[in-house]
A and B are shown apart, each in its own frame.
Chain A
Amino acid sequence: NAGVTQTPKFRVLKTGQSMTLLCAQDMNHEYMYWYRQDPGMGLRLIHYSVGEGTTAKGEVPDGYNVSRLKKQNFLLGLESAAPSQTSVYFCASRIRGGAWGTDTQYFGPGTRLTVL
């Protein structure tokens, strides 16, 4: 199993450009998440999904859109990139429910995005 994979690993954008980050998991997990991590801020939840075809806003959703058309994939879109979106983006997934101690999130390796 590959676990959680993210594409691309690195990207540099100019202000105003758009892009899509892809997250894929092969663990048949229902829940998927997108976070951003900035120095001193920890991970902040952007959007999440509790199942195929459903998405919800997290703590910092502005400027981002998401889609979950297939259970295994969760896409994060930036329609018009801004320098404030320079960050490391992590995708994660977990099973729904699960016994105590098994409800952990599994993370992808991250995407390092720079917006100039």
Chain B
Amino acid sequence: RKEVEQDPGPFNVPEGATVAFNCTYSNSASQSFFWYRQDCRKEPKLLMSVYSSGNEDGRFTAQLNRASQYISLLIRDSKLSDSATYLCVVANTGGFKTIFGAGTRLFVKA
């Protein structure tokens, strides 16, 4: 079993739609959680950190459920520019060792 698992998709949604991604992790000792965005043939870039209480950044909302060991990302009012691969990232205590999920591909269509 992979340490971090994501649905690879692709998710095909129209502009304006709301879409949600989930990610599960196996190491209960994991301490830090992130969502990264990766555009085609580019490097990953941080989208948002995931706080225990959940957090929101504009159209993006991240949630953490430690009991069930999953992280979610909700995108509201999807834009064409949201088309990308979204990577779930989990870090151990100390944060120096991170595990990346394989990513979920999103296509937003006009």
A107 and B102 contacting across the interface, CB-CB below 8 Å: no
Report the nearest B residue to A108, measured CB to CB: B43
User: Which residues 76-105 of B sit at the A interface, judged by CB distance below 8 A?
Assistant: 87, 91, 95-103
Residues of A within 8 A of B (CB): 31, 33, 35, 40-45, 48, 50, 58-59, 90, 94, 96-98, 100-101, 103-105, 107-110
Given contacts A40-B102, A98-B95, A100-B51, 5 further A-B contacts (CB under 8 A): A35-B100, A43-B44, A50-B96, A101-B49, A103-B95
Interface string of B40-62 (1 = CB under 8 A from A): 01111110010100000000000
**Distance in Å from the Cβ of A101 to the closest Cβ of chain B?**
4
A42 and B102 contacting across the interface, CB-CB below 8 Å: yes
A42 and B87 contacting across the interface, CB-CB below 8 Å: yes
B43 and A104 contacting across the interface, CB-CB below 8 Å: no
**Distance in Å from the Cβ of B4 to the closest Cβ of chain A?**
8
A107 and B97 contacting across the interface, CB-CB below 8 Å: no
Residues of B within 8 A of A (CB): 4, 8, 32, 34, 41-46, 49, 51, 87, 91, 95-103
B97 and A58 contacting across the interface, CB-CB below 8 Å: yes
Write out the residue numbers on chain A whose beta carbons fall within 8 Å of the beta carbon of B43: 90, 107-110
**Could you jot down 24 A-B contacts, CB within 8 Å?**
A40-B8, A40-B102, A42-B100, A42-B101, A42-B102, A42-B103, A43-B44, A43-B100, A45-B98, A45-B99, A50-B96, A94-B95, A97-B95, A100-B32, A101-B51, A103-B91, A103-B95, A104-B34, A104-B46, A104-B49, A105-B98, A108-B43, A109-B42, A110-B42
Write out the residue numbers on chain B whose beta carbons fall within 8 Å of the beta carbon of A108: 43
CA of A97 to CA of B93, assembled, Å: 10
CA of A59 to CA of B99, assembled, Å: 9
A31 and B96 contacting across the interface, CB-CB below 8 Å: yes
Write out the residue numbers on chain B whose beta carbons fall within 8 Å of the beta carbon of A101: 49, 51
B97 and A45 contacting across the interface, CB-CB below 8 Å: yes
Write out the residue numbers on chain A whose beta carbons fall within 8 Å of the beta carbon of B8: 40
Give the interface centre of B41, B44, B51 by most chain A CB atoms within 10 Å. B44
